[in-house]
Structure 1
Amino acid sequence: MRLPLAWTLVAAAALAAAPTAPATGAPARCPRLTGAWQSDNRAHLQQVIDDHGTCAGPDRRPRPVAAFDWDNTVTKNDVTDATLSWALRHDALLRPARWKDTSAWLTDAADRALTEACGTGVRAPLPTSARPRCTDEILEIREHATTTSGAPAFAGTWNHRRTVPQYAWIPQLFAGRTPAELSAYARAARREALAAPVGATRVLGTHTVPAYVRYYDQMRDLIRTLRRAGFTVYIVSAGAEPITEVWSRGVGIDAAHTVAIRSVLDRHGRLTTRTEGCGGLPATRGEAIPYIDGKRCWINQEVYGIHGAAAWQRRPPTHRPVLAAGDADTDVTFVGDATGAHLVVNRNKPELMCRAYDDADGHWLVNPMFIDPLPRRTDPYPCSTSAYTAPDGSHGPLRRPDGSVLPDLFDAG
């Protein structure tokens, strides 16, 4: 899963010394994007490829980097959720000794609700296929961070720009399984989700969830074109890494270029509830996952070889992706770090959409979802009041680098 250290150090040194001028003559020789995009987005993306691709001929510069979120950016619907759905219907989760062992922030109320709904019996497979109450509790905690009775499922202190407990909780639910087993579940879920018709749903307990996933054709084409043009393309996701790797192979991205939540393994090679750290943080129970500022940290660490506290900081342009794409507030930091294009799939997430519509550097591109796009939002995004999520979880106004507050902005569709 990791890039070799020698490659990382060489690449980082080359980047530090590299010129940043675009390849001359690139437009005539770079591969062309296809497919339907909003407005002139395709032309803008093509210009970035032409300006920064190494396709014009031999070039001493390091390969430019592009980084993509996965769920609802490259695919329609969430592939970790699709795998969880499959696991719940096939009794693939193991019952923990105590539910509170699964997360550092799980509340007593959630522990009681899960124990009552799912029964007892250490390390036995959870009979979720026959216990809809158990499935309901797990899905409610995953979706809303509450129990089915409405009690908070997580409490305590965490950095809200580095993690969110219910995201970290999904790989923690697979503790006791091996990465190979989790990958097998993901492959089975992938076959099922790709075979289901667009728009299909299923009922799990009392929850209605999507039953299908689709790769966006435009994103597949964009990734393929970038790679042909000499870009190194990474996936950076807040999903479970073995699951994301199964899906990223479908767009030609291998495990070495797929970064997601990485579970620490025990001495038998099984997943634990601990996750690898970033930016100088050791392995923890989910305190530094690829989430908001955490995505910047993981890109800096895994792509550019920057370790310690410096990995949390915005780096010089030579150590940032040229193009970055996302769909949610969890992506706002790394998408904003891109030097050539910030591509946003519009799902009406306020912090990301405020940044996109403010378009401070003229490089933000907004595109509706390619399948079943949302209707245009009629009320403005609360950019001036509550769009920003602070590390302590409070909400406030979004500010530009000069300190000025963004005004409320309307959805342009």
Structure 2
Amino acid sequence: MRNRHALALTLATAATLAAVPAALPVAAATPANSPAAKAHCPQLSKKLTWYGDNRDRLQQMIDERGRCGSHRGHDQKRPVAAFDWDNTVAKNDVTDATIAWALHHDKILRPATWKSTSKWLTDEADRALTAACGTDVPVGAPLPTSTDTACADEIFEVREDGKTMSGAAAFAGEWDHRHTVPQYAWVPQLFAGHTVKELESYAAKARKEALAAPIGATQKVGTHEIPGYIRYYEQQRDLIRTLKKAGFDVYIVSAGSEPVAEVWAGGKGGVGIDRKHTIAIRSVLDRKGRITTWNQGCGDVPVNQGEAIPYIDGKRCWINQEIYGVKGKSAWDKQDWSHRIALGGGDADTDVTFVGDATGAHLVLNRNKSEFMCRAYDNADGRWVVNPMFIEPLPRKTDPYPCSTAAYNEHDGSKGPVLREDGSVVPDQADSVF
């Protein structure tokens, strides 16, 4: 089992895999595929509502790729399913819930300087945070954010929108916009000085409050109003359970802090995904076991300050590295058919690359994110499964997605056209599943 908090990750030597065709194999016409045999295969619940024929399409993939289909022998590598977490497996953002709880309970420790928390933090943000939170509290002591509205506001605004309360950019400089986003990387950096167990306890307490709050509830963080409730999607819980019964290895791949994702994914009331199968931002710990502002790296990016988190192409890198043992620069590349996941599930542009890499089904919860929905509605391989959010779905987006001009997130942060693998441009797409 991996040591998720080691300074450098040691990957097991990748097992030699049998060659697999570059197209989805169709299960042979054997008794295992007969109606009578399939009646004994793991089945998705018919009591839970899916959009259109999505349940049947997912069930077909499970039947074809699981233990009742191509994965029948113990000599084959288990098929893999991977899911984003926030707004994919659970409604609303567990990272925001954890930060809110921490701010309500004075759990953010004052850094020596705010600039030290992120390599990209601007002078304007440093001054705004220093002015709002003050310098009276000793370095390393808790900030009184439960009563200091200005301090809580400034911290949450930087996290939420990448800006100060006055509207100045909180982050600046150069980064690959398909490998990271500084305000996401800043979340575990905010908890520098805490142990992993402390952060897990904050996430657990936030989880208890969010699950107890009624659907639609809100909460205040400073003057910010954010969702106050979180719910596991029962359809996704059932899908994960069915996949596991059918012989799939199921992973969570999140752009949040790994201890927070682990609290929600595993344990009592979770979805049965353990630490080994949870991938998120992994903080480097100091000699006393406390979180630092440094993260473990991926591919050819070593230990870093946020340059390579599980974000857009970064999610592919982490899947390739952690699940398939791909090392070095190649971990950023799309792999051959036998080294890709069978099912990917997500809700936002941060998920578009790894979900698109799936060979069996690309499950999309529609949150009106342009690049992701362009891929989904273009449906180039016929395997994209689009579903409205199961709780409080968004209304239809009235304007077409600008796929042909400005939906793709370029590496430099600009916007461009979404291209198919053959280089052709995806035409603008109308929103049709809502």
Question: How big is the shift at 1:381?
Answer: 0.3
CA contact (8 A) 2:20 2:337 kept: no
TM-score norm. by structure 2 comes to 0.92
Q: Which residue, out of 28, 43, 60, partners 1:32?
A: 43
* C-alpha displacement of 1:280: 1.6
1:296, 1:303 → 2: CA distance?
10
Which segment drifts farther, 161-170 or 202-211? 202-211
- The number of aligned residues is 411
Q: Distance in 2 between matches of 1:280 and 1:386?
A: 29
Cα deviations by residue, 1:116-166 (Å, 9 ceiling, x for unpaired)? 101122111011001000111111111111100000000000000000000
Q: Distance in 2 between matches of 1:325 and 1:240?
A: 19
- Does the alignment pair 1:46 with 2:59? yes
CA distance in structure 1 between the partners assigned to 2:15 and 2:222 by the alignment = 53
Q: If each structure's helix is expressed as a fraction of its own residues, which one has the higher value?
A: 1
Amino acid at match of 2:347: D
- The match for 1:115 is 130
Match of 2:151 among 134, 151, 158: 134
Partner of 2:407: 387
SS, match of residue 66 in structure 1: strand
Seen in structure 2, the aligned counterparts of structure 1 residues 145 and 348 have a Cα distance that, compared at 3 Å, is same
> Deviations along 1:47-66, whole A, 9 cap, x unmatched?
00000002465442111000
Contact (CA 8 Å) 2:11, 2:322: kept in 1 or not? no
Q: Is the 8 A contact 1:3 1:302 kept in 2?
A: no
**Aligned-pair distance for 1:21?**
4.3
- Deviation by residue 1:33-57 (Cα, 9 ceiling, x = unmatched): 0111000000000000000002465
RMSD: 1.7
Same amino acid, percent of matched pairs:
66
- Could you tell me which of 194, 210, 219 is aligned with 1:202? 219
Residues 64-103 of structure 1 deviation map (CA, whole Å, 9 limit, x = unaligned): 0000000000000011111001000000110100000000
Secondary structure, aligned partner of 1:15: coil
Unaligned runs of 5+ in 2: none
Compute the displacement of 1:23 (Å).
5.5
1:68 pairs with 2:88: no
Tell me, in whole angstroms, the C-alpha distance in 1 between the residues paired with 2:3 and 2:112. Answer: 35
Verify: 1:230 aligned to 2:220, yes or no.
Answer: no
Aligned to 1:288: 308
Whether the 8 Å CA contact 1:2–1:302 is kept in 2: the answer is no
Q: Is the CA contact (8 Å cut-off) linking 1:3 and 1:256 kept in structure 2?
A: no
Residue of structure 1 in register with 2:15 after alignment: 13
Whichever residue aligns with residue 217 of structure 1, its letter is: E
Correspondence 1:237-248 to 2 at 5 A: 237-248=254-265
CA drift of 1:29 comes to 3.3
**Cα distance in 1, alignment partners of residues 165 and 141 from structure 2:** 24
Q: Counterpart of 2:17 in 1: which secondary structure?
A: helix
C-alpha distance in structure 2 between counterparts of 1:361 and 1:333, whole Å: 15
Deviates more, 1:22-31 or 1:143-152: 22-31
Question: C-alpha distance in 1, partners of 2:27/2:126?
Answer: 57
In the alignment, does 2:5 pair up with 1:2? Answer: no
Structure 1: 5+ residue stretches without partners: none
2:174 pairs with 1:157: yes
Moved more, 290-299 or 203-212: 203-212
The answer to whether the 8 A contact 1:8-1:304 is kept is no
Q: Distance in 1 between matches of 2:399 and 2:25?
A: 42
Q: How far apart are the structure 1 equivalents of 2:246 and 2:389?
A: 25
Which residue is 2:114 aligned to? 99
Aligned match of 1:83: 98
SS at match of 1:223: helix
CA contact (8 A) 1:274 1:284 kept: yes
Counterpart-to-counterpart distance in 1, 2:11 and 2:227 = 40
Distance 1:234 1:7 in 2: 17
CA–CA separation in structure 2 for the residues paired with 1:7 and 1:96: 33
Matched residue, 2:363:
343
Please name the residue that 1:146 is paired with: 163
How far apart, CA to CA, are the structure 1 residues paired with 2:3 and 2:284? 17
Inter-partner Cα distance in structure 1 for 2:145 and 2:373: 38
* SS of residue matched to 2:118: coil
Partner amino acid, structure 1, of 2:414: S
For the 8 Å contact 1:23–1:54, the answer to whether it is kept is: no
Deviation digits for residues 322-370 of structure 1 (CA, Å, limit 9, x no counterpart): 0000000000000000000000000000000000000000000100000
* CA drift at 1:2: 2.6
Kindly provide the amino acid, as one letter, of the partner of residue 49 in structure 2.
A
Whole-angstrom CA distance in 2 between matches of 1:88 and 1:122: 17
Letter of the 1:47 counterpart: Q
Partner of 1:254: 274
Provide Cα deviations, 1:367-392, integer angstroms capped at 9, x if missing partner: 00000000011100010111011111
Which shifted more, 232-241 or 55-64?
55-64
